[in-house]
Structure 1
Amino acid sequence: MSDAVLFDVREDGIAIITINRPEQRNALGREVREGLRSAWERFEADPKARVAILTGTGEKAFCAGGDLKEMVETGMQVPPRDMFPLPYDTIELTKPTIAAVNGVAFAGGWMIAQACDLCVASTAAKFAITEVKVGRGSPWAAPLISMIPQRIMMEIILTGKPITAQRAYEIGLVNRLAEPEALMEVALALAQEILEGAPLSVKAGRETVMLATEMGRGAALQAARAAHEATYKSHDAQEGPRAFAEKRKPEWTGR
């Protein structure tokens, strides 16, 4: 990997992926796109990595979006389907992800934050879907309807105006707010809360949320039962109640 995207897995199983082009406002140029693709693939392939945090270097920008200069130089019209490495979309992932938004998340920056399962934001962060300002499109925003109300989504997309981190928290786009200097501390705390759960239960729980988002009630219930079957039959499903009865911390094996 180049230094455009940094990748590190901590001893506790938290992978930290950092877009490292602050002089370019961490924009999604080719080098960053390739770095993110490699980082997500490494995260999925590493059995020690259980949760990932995506963030950006610096305090000004999480990611300012696509590289508009590149679009001009290449005459880009419709972006290739696999141009941007998006978790759970163009990148196959089975593990939870958290966006730690340290600054502006505009256009493609909003896109990659939205693609993560959870979002922690600095109180200084701002979010915007700015494509209407430059004549581009935001088809990737379609899943946003499952996260925020329709009229709010409509205003955000049609005006292209930024919203504050506080507003993003109020409408349900952001899970937790943090002062700028405490952003990673709060993101790590959220990741560690996830790590406390049984791995198979976390995996099946995440799948259930996505199934419920994409299906009707009856179909989602049926699919969720199937997704949880391996969890119920696992060693950890016996260890959890046993540890509770013995008043000790469970020792998860992920099997």
Structure 2
Amino acid sequence: MKYQNLLVALEDNLAIVTINRPNKLNALNKQTIEELHSAFKTLDKDKGVKVIILTGSGEKAFVAGADIAEFSNFSVKKGTKLAAKGQELLFNFVENLSTPVIAAVNGYALGGGLELAMACHFRIASHNAKMGLPEVSLGVIPGYGGTQRLPQLVGKGRAMELIMTAGMIDSEKAHEFGLVNHVVALEELMQNCKKIANRISNNSTVAINYAIKAVNAGFNNDVNGYNAEIEAFGTCFGTADFKEGTSAFLEKRKADFPGK
């Protein structure tokens, strides 16, 4: 499928999704959000894709924020619908995707851009990355999950300060806070993401799917995370991947997971 604002490349078991609006610093508009939803949905159904890497085009920005011109004149009703639909279509959708998504944060990840990076399963940043949620400087708050995911990742106090000051932090501070897993040189960013993605792709896609669900359950107030883990753990025993994984271990060979 062809997209106007995205580039999608397949490399072996990996898919690289690049938000391609360089003249807008890859800002998220309605069309880009819809295209991302479509791309993630399609890739998640592709059994040949075991890991997705998400990044932004160019060296300046992962995603510099939402396209403010699209909603500057919205009413309360329209603003509420904007946040609800965006979370459903993209941010919550990515967080709960069965295929692991790595955010390769190159340059600015601000507002909706940081919220998108936080919705990914984990983040790797380049040295030039800058992150923040500047929404209160516009008279609004983060509406794509930022007030929820940022405290989960960096703690309530740090999240409150970042949100209320509308400030930015660099990649080293983001790493110190636990917002990103690794910081690498810009020219090494994709290589490092692919290296980790390849390690992930060697493992059971079925087990990884259940692990994602179990971890996310622990952050859902309506779900008992421990019970979700127990159920997922037990379910794994009925999969072909479990049979292959345990057989390979006992036979001292590399597992060839069927993904079932």
Q: Check whether TM > 0.5.
A: yes
Q: Structure 2 CA distance, aligned partners of 1:156 and 1:42? A: 35
Structure 1 CA distance, aligned partners of 2:128 and 2:52?
A: 22
CA contact (8 A) 1:144 1:153 kept: yes
Question: Aligned partners of 2:107 and 2:130: how far apart in 1?
Answer: 6
Deviation of 1:79 (Å): 4.7
Instruction: Provide the alpha-carbon RMSD of the alignment.
Output: 2.1
Distance in 2 (alpha carbons) for counterparts of 1:91 and 1:6: 21
Question: 2:21 maps to what in 1?
Answer: 21
Aligned counterparts of 1:44 and 1:25: Cα–Cα separation in 2: 26
User: What TM-score, normalized by structure 1, do the two folds share?
Assistant: 0.91
Q: Does 1:6 align with 2:11?
A: no
Q: Which runs of 5+ in 2 are unaligned?
A: none
Q: What SS does structure 2 have at the residue aligned with 1:205?
A: helix
Q: Which residue is 2:37 aligned to?
A: 37
Matches for 1:104-143 after TM superposition, within 5 Å:
104-139=108-143, 140-141=145-146, 142-143=148-149
User: Unpaired segments of 5 or more residues in structure 1?
Assistant: none
Q: Aligned partners of 2:74 and 2:9: how far apart in 1?
A: 33
Cα separation, 1, equivalents of 2:218 and 2:79: 34
Moved more, 18-27 or 36-45: 36-45
Aligned residues: 253
**CA positional deviation for 1:246:** 2.6
C-alpha change, 1:186 and 1:22, in structure 2 (3 Å) is same
Give the structure 2 partner of residue 78 of structure 1.
Answer: 80
The alpha-carbon deviation at position 29 of structure 1 amounts to 1.9
For 2:225 and 2:136, the matched residues in 1 are separated by 35
Residue 146 of structure 1 corresponds to: 152
Aligned to 1:201: 207
Matching residue of 1:165: 171
Residue from 228, 232, 235 that aligns with 1:227: 232
3-state SS in 1 of match to 2:90: coil
Alpha-carbon deviation of 1:204? 1.3
Residue 88 (structure 1) shift = 3.2
Q: Is the 8 A contact 1:25 1:64 kept in 2?
A: yes
Aligned-residue identity in percent: 32
Using a 3 Å threshold, how does the CA distance of structure 1 residues 224 and 91 change in structure 2: closer, same or farther?
closer
Deviation at 1:226, TM superposition (A): 1.1
Aligned to 1:100: 104
Q: Is 1:210 aligned to residue 213 of structure 2?
A: no
Partner residue of 2:161 out of 138, 147, 155: 155
CA deviations on 1:70-107 (whole Å, 9 max, x unpaired) are: 22366664352213642434886222111101110000
8 Å contact from structure 1 (residues 40, 91) kept in 2: no
